[in-house]
C-alpha cells in the first residue's frame, strides 16, 4: 500500500479534480442530515433530496418526528425504498434523541451509533459534515476507489476507515471520503474512465490494467468471497 505522504498527495490531487467536494445530501441542521443519511441507504442522494423538503417541513426536529405515525411517515418516504424499516428507524432515532439527548444530535460516535438506524458510516457523515468532528465515512465508492488506487487494501469498511485515518491528518478525513465518493461516481466507476483520472500515475489498478475493464488480480484477491456486509446485500437502513 501507499505511504502516508503518497496517500495525502493522492487525496489532495483528487480534491483538485473535484473542487468543493461535499456531501450531495441537502440539509440545514445536523438532525436533517441524520435523517437524510438514514434515508439514503439503498437509495440515491438525488432521490432523497426530492423527498426531504416536504419531510423536513412536516418534521423539522426530533421532537416532531418522535410523534410521527409510522403509516404517515411511510407514505412520505416510500420512494427511497425499504420505507417500513426506515420509518421505524427514523421514529426510534427521534424518540431516543429526545429522551436521551435533549432533542439535540450528539456529537459523539459512540452515542450516535446507539441510535436506531445509525451505523458507523452514517455517524461519520453527520459528525464530519454537520458537527465539525473529524470523520471518514466509507461507502462502496470509497471501498472501490481506495482499493483500486492502493491507499487501502480491505473489503471491510471499518478496516479501510482505520487505515485511511492513520495515513491522513484529521483535517483531511472528511475530505478524503468526499473526494473518493465523487471520484467513484464520476470517474472510478465499476467500469472506470481511467483516461479522465488525475491520479492514474499513482494507481495500482491502472498500473496492472492500463485502464482495461478487467485487470489482472493479485492472488490474494482471486478467491475472495463477498462479505456479509457488502453494500449490495444490505437489507436494512442501518449503515
Active site residues: 121, 139
Let me know: does 92 contact 101? Beta carbons within 8 Å. Answer: no
Give the up-direction half-sphere exposure of residue 43: CA atoms within 13 A in the CB hemisphere: 26
Q: How far is CA 59 from CA 19, 32, 70, 75, 129, in A?
A: 33, 9, 13, 14, 21
Let me know: does 33 contact 198? Beta carbons within 8 Å. Answer: no
φ/ψ bin of 117: left (φ > 0), alpha (ψ from -120 to 50), beta (otherwise): left
CA distance 147 to 99: 41
CA distance 94 to 104: 10
Amino acid at each position: 500500500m501507499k505511504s502516508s505522504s503518497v496517500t495525502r498527495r493522492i487525496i489532495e490531487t483528487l480534491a483538485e479534480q473535484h473542487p468543493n467536494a461535499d456531501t450531495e445530501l441537502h440539509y440545514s441542521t445536523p438532525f436533517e442530515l441524520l435523517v437524510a443519511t438514514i434515508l439514503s441507504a439503498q437509495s440515491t442522494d438525488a432521490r432523497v433530496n426530492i423527498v426531504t423538503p416536504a419531510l423536513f417541513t412536516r418534521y423539522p426536529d426530533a421532537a416532531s418526528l418522535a410523534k410521527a405515525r409510522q403509516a404517515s411517515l411511510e407514505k412520505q418516504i416510500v420512494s427511497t425504498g425499504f420505507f417500513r424499516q426506515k420509518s421505524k428507524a427514523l421514529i426510534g432515532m427521534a424518540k431516543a434523541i429526545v429522551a436521551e439527548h435533549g432533542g439535540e444530535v450528539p456529537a459523539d460516535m459512540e452515542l450516535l451509533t446507539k441510535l436506531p438506524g445509525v451505523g458507523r458510516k452514517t455517524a461519520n457523515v453527520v459528525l464530519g459534515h454537520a458537527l465539525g468532528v473529524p470523520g471518514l465515512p466509507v461507502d462502496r465508492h470509497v471501498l472501490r476507489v481506495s482499493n483500486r488506487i492502493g491507499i487501502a487494501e480491505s473489503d471491510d469498511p471499518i478496516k479501510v476507515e482505520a487505515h485511511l485515518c492513520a495515513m491522513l491528518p484529521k483535517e483531511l478525513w472528511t475530505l478524503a471520503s468526499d473526494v473518493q465518493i465523487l471520484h467513484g461516481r464520476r470517474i472510478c466507476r465499476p467500469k472506470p474512465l481511467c483516461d479522465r483520472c488525475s491520479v492514474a500515475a499513482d494507481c495500482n489498478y491502472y498500473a496492472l490494467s492500463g485502464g482495461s475493464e478487467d485487470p489482472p488480480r493479485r492472488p490474494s484477491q482471486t478467491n475472495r468471497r463477498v462479505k456479509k456486509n457488502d453494500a449490495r446485500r444490505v437489507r436494512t437502513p442501518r449503515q
